[in-house]
Amino acid sequence: MTDRNKDMLVYLASGKSTQQTVCVSKYAWSSHAIMLENGDHLECWLAGQISSLSDLAELVSSRSTAEINLFLRREQRAFGVIIRFDDYLFAACDRVQSYPIFWEQCGDDLVVSSDPRYFRSEHYKGRLRTELLTLFKASGYSLGSDTMVQGVKRVRPGESIMHEGAGTVVSERYYLYMPELSRNVEAPETLRDELGNVIDEIVTSLISDADGRPIVLPLSAGFDSRLLLGKLVEHGADNLITFSYGTLGNMEAGEAKKFAEQVGVPWFFVAPDKSDVEEYKRGELREYLRFSGGIHTTSAVTEYFALKKMAEKGYVGDHVLYINGQSGDFLTGGHLFIEPDIDAYLDRIMAKHFGLLALDADSPIRKEFKKVLLGWASENDIAEADQEEFLPHRFHLLFEWQERQSTYVINQQRAYDWFGIQWSLPLWHPKLMDFYERVPLEYQIEQKLYLDYLRHWNFKGLFDSMRMPYDPWPNFKLPILLAGHLTGRFVGEAKKSEFYKKLSYFSDQHYLYRLFPRKLFFKHSREVRNAATFFMLDNLVSLKQDLGGTVEAGIETDLRDYLHS
């Protein structure tokens, strides 16, 4: 094991007909020895929490698939688990792939790893899946069980895999997020009260789990962290701390401070530091990027520096619990569209999920998106009847749950793991998912039920004003707006848009853009959607260097040259 991978632990076992390799990172994962009722011993590796690891081990040892599925579906906490005994290996992710697991079968042998760096070693040179590059550049992640490394798969959300002896890997899908979206059969007030009861149950359980430890809440101006702030105070979390981060003077932080003061909770701002840029180029963060993504998704840097500074302040370890509001906006219907027909709806999905870099006009993803989506559905356990009916809202929720949310958004929690921070995502709690699976479409569109609940509950006036108008300019606002207006008036709207795109380098996203030179941003501003595009390309360049892929001329080579300057 190289120094670069010294924080990965590799376990080898040779059975009668196979060799099974388990690799786990020291971040969030722990090993456990379980003795079964019959006296046999099992090796287990766990991230997060499971209600009874010994009960699951008994079920796994009995190969009782139906009972295993029921057990996993009923779990209420985030987890990733690997179990091995004799020639048998079992692995599973929770409903949202909170802790990713990857695997590769070579003949009769199997490798299972919670750390994607295992598959970026010299052994995997030449195995970059170049046929997936266009898709990865457009979305920032691979789809389904695919990764960017030939032969390497991931365990999908709500999935388990089993391997025994000389057999092939068998996957079992115990959960799919497919809301019914049926017509309403309950009064809206009843649904609203039920929603409140579910949220109350989740938050009171969370406070109980904290067991007196400080609860740390990253706070923004959005609905979800504001809801959690109010609920934690309402239910007596008396050791609550909030913080915000980002560009100095950003609107989100200013509003968050007001909300914290409104309910009497401590708040502070974690400011960017000049040293962050050097850290991004040459520091520990380079290894974090390899740990947290690359082979299946783009590593998220959004919270990295803020969490690092929080850890330096001592808000780290078993004695503190962090929570955040991901991804309440998705689960409550905030990503659904209203469109007149299926084609228009599909255009919106494509624009939202495949726009990090512009697709060529003749790209199959652009020209035959419904065919691409149906192909994805057939490979991801979607029933033929559902494929034939093709209800766009259901497909949208299912696709985004498995891909963007579970693969990319929730992967931001790797930054918490990297710094040894315990975390919870209460708005991805299975009880809330189960509730929203039966909420009618009319109450999900534009978050109708959710917003109605927030207005009705409105603890301590937190939702007197639902949302402040978005202001992207914390600094130099008036000169920027004036210059933009004059550009539009005298040169045209296209040039005005181009001007604002370039000046977005100085927007509230500057804390992310500043990691890249202004000259580089201005040169490629037309190509990129936002800061996530740069992080995606950085991940891709790094992966190509590890696997021997070709770094393309243009923005990729410019990024490579900058990071090695």
Residue 7 has pLDDT above 80, yes or no: no
Across 206-248, the runs of DSSP E, i.e. the strands, are 215-218, 240-245
Q: With bands split at pLDDT 50, 70 and 90, how would you rate the model's confidence at 86?
A: confident
Q: For 466-501, what is each residue's pLDDT tens digit?
A: 888 889 999 999 999 999 999 999 999 999 999 999
Q: What percent of the chain is predicted at pLDDT more than 70?
A: 97
Mean pLDDT for the chain overall: 92
Q: For 408-458, what is each residue's pLDDT tens digit?
A: 999 999 999 999 999 999 999 999 999 999 999 999 999 999 999 999 999
Say what the pLDDT of residue 16 is.
Answer: 65
Instruction: Pick the closest to residue 225 from 253, 250, 192, 201 (CA basis).
Output: 253
Q: What's the whole-number mean pLDDT along residues 384-390?
A: 70
Structure tokens at 502: 């370039």
Structure tokens at 251: 């609107």
CB-based contact 414:300 (threshold 8 Å): yes
CB-based contact 97:408 (threshold 8 Å): no
Say what the pLDDT of residue 469 is.
Answer: 86
Q: How far is CA 22 from CA 70, 460, 540, in A?
A: 25, 50, 26
Q: With bands split at pLDDT 50, 70 and 90, how would you rate the model's confidence at 17?
A: low
Say what the pLDDT of residue 267 is.
Answer: 97
Structure tokens at 323: 């929570």
Structure tokens at 315: 């808000």
Q: How far is CA 414 from CA 115, 120, 522, in A?
A: 11, 18, 30
> Is the alpha carbon torsion for 227, 231, 234, 240 positive or negative?
negative
Q: For 146-179, what is each residue's pLDDT tens digit?
A: 999 999 999 999 999 999 988 899 999 999 999 9
CB-based contact 165:148 (threshold 8 Å): no
Q: How many helices, marked H, and strands, marked E, lie in the chain?
A: 25, 16
Say what the pLDDT of residue 3 is.
Answer: 46
Single-letter residue type at 341: D
The residues near 346 (Cβ < 8 Å, ≥ 6 apart) are 369, 370, 373, 392
Categorise residue 39: left if φ over 0, alpha if ψ from -120 to 50, beta otherwise: left
Q: How far is CA 432 from CA 132, 179, 219, 444, in A?
A: 34, 12, 21, 13
Residue 28 has pLDDT above 70, yes or no: yes
Better pLDDT: 197 or 381? 197
Instruction: Pick the closest to residue 301 from 532, 518, 564 (CA basis).
Output: 532
Residue 219 has pLDDT above 60, yes or no: yes
- Which residue carries 């093709």 as its tokens? 390
Looking at residue 51, what DSSP letter applies?
A: S
Q: For 323-382, what is each residue's pLDDT tens digit?
A: 999 989 999 999 999 888 888 888 888 888 898 987 777 777 777 788 888 888 888 877
Burial class of 35 by CB neighbour count within 10 A (0 to 12, 13 to 18, 19+): exposed
Neighbours of 552 (CB within 10 A): 15
Instruction: Pick the closest to residue 472 from 249, 245, 272, 219 (CA basis).
Output: 249
- Cα gap 155→174, rounded to integer Å: 12
Say what the pLDDT of residue 14 is.
Answer: 67
Cis before residue 292, ω within 30 degrees of 0?
no
Across 63-169, the runs of DSSP E, i.e. the strands, are 79-85, 88-93, 102-106, 109-113, 152-154, 159-164
Burial class of 427 by CB neighbour count within 10 A (0 to 12, 13 to 18, 19+): buried
Q: How far is CA 203 from CA 79, 143, 207, 231, 387, in A?
A: 19, 33, 6, 7, 37
- The gap between the terminal CA atoms of the chain, to the nearest Å, is 28
